[in-house]
Structure 1
């Protein structure tokens, strides 16, 4: 593995795997959030300014191995050019003679964006067992697809002289363009600046945290966060649980949850987590009060109650005022803080205050010297709406990748560069 800052890019075709899977508005006409592109701009600019010939690889959406004009990366060329501050060339394929020739025509400092890698099914390499198919036949098809992935990665590799992985958002995927491709550059592969920053931020929380270490977990379901919570219990001093999954814990402790979201089949899991936290000396905090609604609607009638005494016919959709005060005090006591998941249905204005209060508390803690890491699509979106995006230490670009890293899993896109 090479070190990005020390590598001599001059005159080389630099194959850079980025994550340009940006969202469009409902009319499918405008990019609603270009931050995934913006985050890789420093990597692109560094290579170009140091004489490299930048060749960008990315996926967009889920075309399932078929060409879909609505998912063409040609649609974002002008946005990439505007953010990078340079002209960006485009090729309507990512493999084959046409793509290779386009890379060879590049001059030092020039940039080329290749077409969506997922227009080829071999990138993802998905194989599902067919109804009635024997395990033996299924394994044969899986191996055939893996061979096809390697062949596809080899074709992608023909477009570059070295490989830079800067797509943290796709690092948890064992795809041809994220992990298989690295094997074709055994002595010329490295992380980009974004990947380096992401891994450094995660290491700061997981490997070298300043204590007290606090994790704030929100979201709807305990089942989505079991592995994450269990792994965090080995590391954190305090754990705040909010969002919809609060009520599975409340029910597990004998509380009344009304019509609130509750995973009845996860009550034993919730009790186990509570017991593990107690055994390990981790302070596990749940909301003490809630804002309830009589229906899941922004125009719903609202009331407040203790979190374990939700009235019949009502559902908890946000944390209450006392919970906000409690969580703020715990956040301000901490030196390292990880936040993943909202405290309620923040997309609906009547139920956004709890999540925004946590965002403000993290900003206050950061200003007070704490290290704060926020990741996960909903958390990041809430942080932006609250106006706190630039007031925390680090905002991760990879929700799924970040969660799998924190669960203790190896990320294929990372391992492929390291080994």
Structure 2
């Protein structure tokens, strides 16, 4: 029986072998296939069969993981999603790309091409890049500071959207008899000039099926939240507790409204990494099985990379000192959001170093949940109906089995409860998210000028 008209959004966040750092070591995994495009096309078809809104790929222009102990992702996601587009029909396709290490015109072309090729299913996860390892790969002496990266990001998005808008929707005339392909009065230079960027335009391709790709964002710092309130149409975030999710959700919706936007057009999607089994005890046993495959040296290095806190000098079975995370700031600061998530785990649970590494092994600070399909559906419904989420970024501990298990056991429960679609009702990612198609900012300008 339907519980209401509002429905969940579900994305499959694809890490090649799974979100648990030891997934590649599990006997059921296929780490030898992480450069095989057919593997990712199969994952896309699984997600589409379950009516997921989209698949999502993280990315970064540097090798952050210690590949001695981890099967690190390596394929560039926009290219990969183009291949997945050919193997699917309705599934949304979201890729991460950095405003720090791309140029606006180049990136606008990549996402415009993906949106055209897929028939309107592209989304751009906008990041500023959080690691200074990338700087040397681009000939820079240092990674730009946080504030400068966000200042550039604001200009970058304004320039890219203007490029996508520079062709009005009816710019293509396509009149062979008159010899006119396009009305050049409806194709505009953008003449964008900022402190960090300068882009003339116009764009060299027509407007895409969605108007422009969906804008996604994943930063939870104060700068990130402000950026999300102004631009983001979907937000990926990490929270451990319902009350933290509710506070973030309310804050983002308030910020969107302050920018004159409709808060309903900003989808908040926390991450959840579910270990699913027929009984709760079996689900926890499955989680322990994965944790026992972890390599402590890898987890210690990841913790340092993730939040800058080094605990390698401590014995693995010694409690983590709370004071090591004293620099996380309070919940109103948000300048180091992921550090705050981990500091909260340490303060509440007082784990040993080994226990903390296990807590983070599953999803790098995103919420890990072990339970039956009904329990997973219950926690999703709780967050969805209590103002903490518009949907979830599903982060299976292991691919492909974890996605298949979620699709075959949890999704039917959510559908039975009327919380998730049984069929697609549209063909674009905007349709799936319930987002309007944006009008070109240049529409009508030529008529006004005349």
Normalised to the residue count of structure 1, the TM-score between the two structures is 0.32
Normalised to the residue count of structure 2, the TM-score between the two structures is 0.31
Of the two structures, which has the highest relative contact order with CA contacts closer than 8 Å and spacing of 6 or more? Answer: 2
